[in-house]
Amino acid sequence: MVVCFVHKLVLSGLGTVSGSPQSNQIYCTGELLRQVQQAQLFTDDKHFVDMPLRAKPEEVLGQFQQLVNATPGGGALSRQQLAAFVEAHFFPPGQELQAWEPPDWTSRYGLPPALRLWPAQRHLPGSPRALSLASPPPPLRGRGDSVCDFPSRDSFWIIEGLLLSGMAATAEGMIQNFLFLVEKFGHIPNGGRVYYERRSQPPFLTLMMESYLKHTNSTSFLRRNIHLLEAEYRFWQQQRAVNISTGGQQYQLNRYRVPESGEQGVLQACAHQPPQQSLWAELKTAAESGWDFSSRWFLPGPRSTQATLRDTKASEVVPVDLNAILCRVERLLATFYRELGEAQKADSFQAAHEQRVAAIRAVLWDDQAGSWFDYDLLQQRKSTAFYPSNVAPLWAECGVDAAVVEKALGYLQGSSALSYANGLPASLARTGQQWDLPNAWAPLQHMVIEGLAKSSLPQAQELAFTLAQRWVRMNLAVYERHHAMFEKVPSRSGGEAPLRCVAMGPVRLSPLQVGFGWTNGVVLQLLDRYGSRLTSTGALVTPMLPWIGTCLALALL
């Protein structure tokens, strides 16, 4: 089973989504979690909470309590005691999974080994109470070889790659997983673990359905599930909406916002000293956005190297891209309901779409700068720092006309972000966070490229191609050097490695994420759009190059 754009994980359920109260006390909160995380037994904060239990949760908790009661000095176990207890009562991460192969996979394209999919996986038989997985029933693909969750944002680009490669059945299975989660939770949690249930992630489910319908025209699948698409949208309107007054008018837009709770979660070891619950909530809110972490959430604004995670106030930011996504969701739901003959609902979502277009124009658009900007609720003003997400309304086609495109093009052309040869950086602030300089991320490139390419303006289309050419060349160079694909790349050449945030600071990227899902999905889409024009260091990209040729073969099915 090999394919160019998907990663390691395929999960199927055991009939239970939420963990038991006892397992939540192990993986979400409680004394065992607190002591293990503060002892920093593992270099990755997620390692412990992804370890399956060897016994029932209540038995493990009981034995831990006995050990605490027998330990002098208030029950604080030594690092050695904790390590021995964890080894005796938990399996290593990943033991809950077994291999599975998608039924619509074919190996006839002969991909090189470096681009092959890691074995897809299912849950092993056993009690879901002994796991931190919050798992849906159909198989589902994840994003990378060390990423054991299934984020819907990543899956949007993975699904695009699946569809281009003729794997509509697998794409449908992925969408079914997310529909199942919406049915159970009312939203899509931030990942497939019980400790993620309190926060969501960017609402791409309706966009996934749009992509699937373009390839299959399965109106029956839409009809059976449109109520769940609407349910996800309602979650954002009921739980993540905010009212903003400007120019004598009041507008409603959306933000990321995870309520405060007593859960310690997996960020415990990230702090040099215990932060307040409000900071935990802000860090989780930033994680809900997918931009974890970034100067984008540092208020009152990015401050170069002085900024830290303690400046994070993500819930006080009204993000351009989140509202662009929801703008597109509203337009799609209006279209879907009209196609299904439900005119009243179609009119309702069309009205919501028009209201959001007006709100984005009034609150986020800066006519003089020629761009949209995130809105700072604390300062009641726009945050004018550069992020590729600033121009997301172009991609979402949210209230965009020729004059707006021309101004947005001028904004991009006037930014130093275009000077980075490998791709647009996530920001122009060097903070040590992974969603800042120097990192360039595939979905951000794709949003900007697609937004420009949709325009009828020749200059915008040409810039889109230039950015696509840069991105494909960079990923080809990465592949030729490492025989692998990154989740992100440095935006400028010269040996600088991508950065990743751990323990409130940067460390070098951990082992390569082989064939990272959204990176390959974006490359496939760019090859599909520009394959006949793309060049590799002066020569046309041809199927003679195994990486590009394979992707072309898949993309042009």
Helix count and strand count (H, E) for the chain: 17, 15
Alpha-carbon Rg for the chain in angstroms: 23
457-467 per-residue burial string, b: 16 or more CB within 10 A, e: under 16: eeebeebbbeb
Which residues, in sequence order, are CB contacts of 277 under 8 Å at separation 6+?
A: 260, 261, 262
Which residues, in sequence order, are CB contacts of 209 under 8 Å at separation 6+?
A: 175, 222, 225, 229, 332, 336
Report yes or no: 166 and 203 within 8 Å, Cβ to Cβ: no
Annotated catalytic residue: which of 292, 321, 330, 376? 292
Here the tokens at position 280 are: 């935990």
Report yes or no: 426 and 294 within 8 Å, Cβ to Cβ: yes
Block residue for tokens 């390691």: 8
Report yes or no: 9 and 121 within 8 Å, Cβ to Cβ: yes
Residue 290 has what DSSP assignment? T
Q: What distance separates the 2 farthest-apart alpha carbons in the chain?
A: 75
d(CA 529, CA 451): 13
d(CA 457, CA 300): 36
Annotated catalytic residue: which of 154, 160, 230, 487? 487
Strand pairing report for 374-376 and 381-383: antiparallel
Here the tokens at position 425 are: 């950086």
Residue type, 465: F
Strand pairing report for 535-536 and 539-540: antiparallel
Using DSSP's 3-state secondary structure scheme, residue 183 falls into helix
Q: Specify whether 487 is catalytic.
A: yes
Q: Specify whether 145 is catalytic.
A: no
Report yes or no: 252 and 278 within 8 Å, Cβ to Cβ: no
Q: Phi and psi (nearest 5°) for 8?
A: -90, -40
Block residue for tokens 């809110």: 285
User: Looking at the annotation, which residues are catalytic?
Assistant: 292, 487
